[in-house]
Amino acid sequence: MIDLTMHLTTDEIELWAQGLLPAPRAIHLADCSLCRVEADRERKVILELVQLPKFAPSAGFADRVMAQVKVPTPSGDWEQRR
Amino acid sequence: MRRYERPVFSLLYRMVRDRALAEDLAQETFIKVLNGIKSYRPEFKFSSWIFKIANNAAIDHLRRKSIDTLSLDGAPSAETPEQVRATSLQLGDRAESPLDEVESRELGTAIERAIARLRPEYRSCILLRHVEGYSYEEIADTLELPLGTVKTYIHRARNELRGYLEDRRD
């Protein structure tokens, strides 16, 4: 039996931020101003994090990597790509 | 490789906050991955394996060069105001190259600066969790940390980030 008066844990707040909080706990959140404030603060940080951009390395990065990758030769040896 | 280029480079860039260095570490990561593909164990997610190698490269570098002491707030070991000043990362006190300008544009937002203040191990956990969308279990596997440690790191990291961001808003 879930105690509806129990405050949300950090894991539950993360679930809520993802829209995955089970209904009984969502009921507590709706009624508890302390949990709502805490959850809102946490959601703001999570939102900022998930919206971070992905950066790209400079042009020609893959070619520079592949130039240093060893490839197998027909004799079974490995040689560096040129 | 193209698929992982941006995620791996982004993780490394946020870990070391230096474009050229992040690119070197990303290059080192992919060369290790491609040259060591035979040692890949399929029970792991391929991306986890790559991130593990990338994260190790970053952590090794930070340890080797003690770049983690280049915190915006000074080294964790700094006890006196003089020590704090001496080990603090000074921003904007030198002429900026075009690459520096790119870096300050890319990593100059409040959230990026807050991430930079986190301990490196918190940083990799929080980035894998919220930028890459990894589960706690996947992060534990990738970084070879106990699940409880990963949870603790992520909760502490979020708390610290909240603190930094709320201080900025006040």
Does A74 have pLDDT greater than 50?
A: yes
Do A49 and B13 lie within an 8 Å CB cutoff?
A: no
**Stated pTM of the model:** 0.80
Q: What is the pLDDT of residue B164?
A: 93
CA distance B89 to A80: 40
Domains contained in chain B, number: 1
**Residue B29 C-alpha from the chain's centroid:** 15
Is A3 or A81 the better-scoring residue by pLDDT?
Answer: A3
State the distance between the two ends of chain B, measured CA to CA, in whole angstroms: 43
Average pLDDT (A46-75) is 87
Q: Which band of pLDDT confidence, cut at 50, 70 and 90, is reported for residue B78? A: low
Cβ atoms of A28 and A8 closer than 8 Å: yes
B147 domain-assigned? yes
Q: pLDDT, tens digit, for every residue of B52-64? A: 999 999 999 998 8
pLDDT at B92 over 60: no
Specify the higher pLDDT residue, B98 or A59. A59
Beta partners for residue A71, in sequence order: A79
Chain CA centroid to CA A70, Å: 33
**Residue B140 lies inside a defined structural domain of this protein:** yes
Range of the domain at B151: 109-170
Cα B133 to the center of its chain, rounded Å:
15
Q: Assign residue B127 the CATH number of its domain.
A: 1.10.10.10
In percent, the amount of chain B with pLDDT more than 90 equals: 61
Q: Which residue has the higher pLDDT, B99 or B38?
A: B38
- Contact (Cβ atoms closer than 8 angstroms) between residue B19 and residue A56: no
From the centroid of its chain, how far is CA B45? 20
Residue B139 burial class via C-beta count within 10 angstroms: exposed 0-12, middle 13-18, buried 19 and up? buried
Point out the least confidently predicted range of B98-102, B134-138, B150-154. Answer: B98-102
Q: Per-residue pLDDT for B67 more than 50? A: no
CB contact under 8 A, B23 and A61: yes
Residue B138 lies in a domain: yes
Residue A80: strand, helix, or coil? strand
Q: How confident is the model at residue B38 (pLDDT cuts 50, 70, 90)?
A: confident
Q: Is B151 on the interface with A (CB under 8 A)?
A: yes
Distance from CA of B9 to the nearest CA of A (A): 6
Q: Measured between CB atoms, does A37 come within 8 Å of chain B?
A: no
Looking at residue A37, its pLDDT comes to 93
Contact A13, A36 (CB under 8 A): no
Q: How many CA atoms lie within 13 A of B65 on its CB side?
A: 10
Residue with tokens 């008066």: A5
Neighbours of A15 (CB within 10 A): 16
Identity at B49, one-letter amino acid code: W
Q: Which of B157, B152, B127, B128 is nearest to B141 (CA)?
A: B128
Judged against a pLDDT cut of 80, whether residue B66 lies above it is answered with: no
Smallest CA–CA distance, residue B86 to chain A, in Å, is 30
How many residue pairs from chains A and B have C-beta atoms closer than 8 A? 75
Cβ-count burial B119-133 (b if 16+ within 10 Å, e if not): bbbbbbbbbbbbbbe
Tell me, what's the pLDDT at B68? 46
- Is a pLDDT exceeding 90 seen at residue B50? yes
pLDDT-wise least confident of A10-19, B5-14, B66-75, B158-167: B66-75
Residues in B 104-143 with any Cβ partner in A closer than 8 A:
106, 111-112, 126, 130-131, 133
**Cα B50 to Cα B11: distance, rounded to the nearest angstrom:** 11
